Amino acid sequence: MKKNIKMIISYDGTRYNGWEHQQNTDMTIQGKLEAVLERMIGGGDSDAFKKSGSGVTVIGAGRTDAGVHARAMTANVILDTELTCDEIRVYMNRYLPDDISVNKVTEASDNFHSRFNAKGKTYRYTFWVGDVKPVFDRKYVSVLDKAPDVGKMREAAEKLIGTHDFKSFCGNPRMKKSTVREVDSIKIEESGNYIRLYFHGNGFLQNMVRIMTGTLLEVGYGKKKPEDIEAIIEGKDRQLAGFTAEAKGLTLMKVDYE
């Protein structure tokens, strides 16, 4: 019986070449999930099952870059199986590596599509400030030697909020589709050695959160001014925005659906 299975997944992206499966590597999150599901419904051998033309496709709400983490990625997959949702979850967690976890499995309606139906996403970017090294968080934060001016960063962040053409913040120079997105909130929290940036929007372009983060950090260090943001957006030129903050500081926190 065909079911549309919805999954909430956490992963530590450190070892992986991103979400999307690729020809040259089996080290992708999508690839790992599909291999385990094919093994589950095919009865053991994922390769033979795939060759029979019965491979499965896991659709993720977004395609995280290499090294980016997720606390709650949403994905769905059409499966022909008699297993219950709980049996699927237990099976997957048994065979997935330690750095990928399936937290929740439910049956969705036939037309649920984790990417097309996503209404919003929350990303968090984490900086660690100081010359004491973040031993236990070292794979999940980007280290800054000196503190940026967070007040200035907040001023600049306000100017990013809204519906804009974010072409200047798009990491894909050959992007053909619309680069208009709505960012409805950017919150910047300071707590001890941490500075955490929370971005919420209806969708993000390739590297967009990391480029916004890099740009805000340049404002925090006085290399750019909050009032430069408008011209950066207007210019629609990647060269105008700041650097791309490193992947390991970024985590997809949540995907919203209606």
Please pick, from the candidates 52, 54, 103, 172, the single residue that binds its own copies as defined by CB under 8 A: 103
Active-site annotation holds for 65: yes
Restricting to residues 53-82, which ones interact with its own copies according to CB under 8 A? 69, 71
140 binds its own copies (CB under 8 A): yes
99 binds its own copies (CB under 8 A): yes
Q: Which is nearer to its own copies, 138 or 223 (CB)?
A: 138
What is d(CA 60, CA 257) in angstroms, rounded to the nearest whole number?
Answer: 13
What are the backbone angles phi and psi of residue 32, rounded to the nearest 5°? -65, -40
Contact 33, 51 (CB under 8 A): no
Q: Which is nearer to its own copies, 16 or 166 (CB)?
A: 16
93 binds its own copies (CB under 8 A): yes
Q: Which of 12, 26, 47, 65 is catalytic?
A: 65
91 binds its own copies (CB under 8 A): no
Q: Quick one: angle between helices 85-95 and 29-42, nearest 10?
A: 120
Please pick, from the candidates 82, 98, 110, 258, the single residue that binds its own copies as defined by CB under 8 A: 98
Q: Which is nearer to its own copies, 56 or 70 (CB)?
A: 70
Contact 27, 15 (CB under 8 A): yes
What is d(CA 148, CA 128) in angstroms, rounded to the nearest whole number?
Answer: 11
Restricting to residues 4-33, which ones interact with its own copies according to CB under 8 A? 10-12
Strand locations in 56-99, DSSP E?
59-60, 69-80
What is the residue type of 79?
Answer: L
What are the backbone angles phi and psi of residue 254, rounded to the nearest 5°? -170, 145
Residues carrying an active site annotation: 65
Give me the residues that bind its own copies (CB under 8 A), please: 10-12, 69, 71, 89-90, 93, 98-101, 103, 131-136, 138, 140
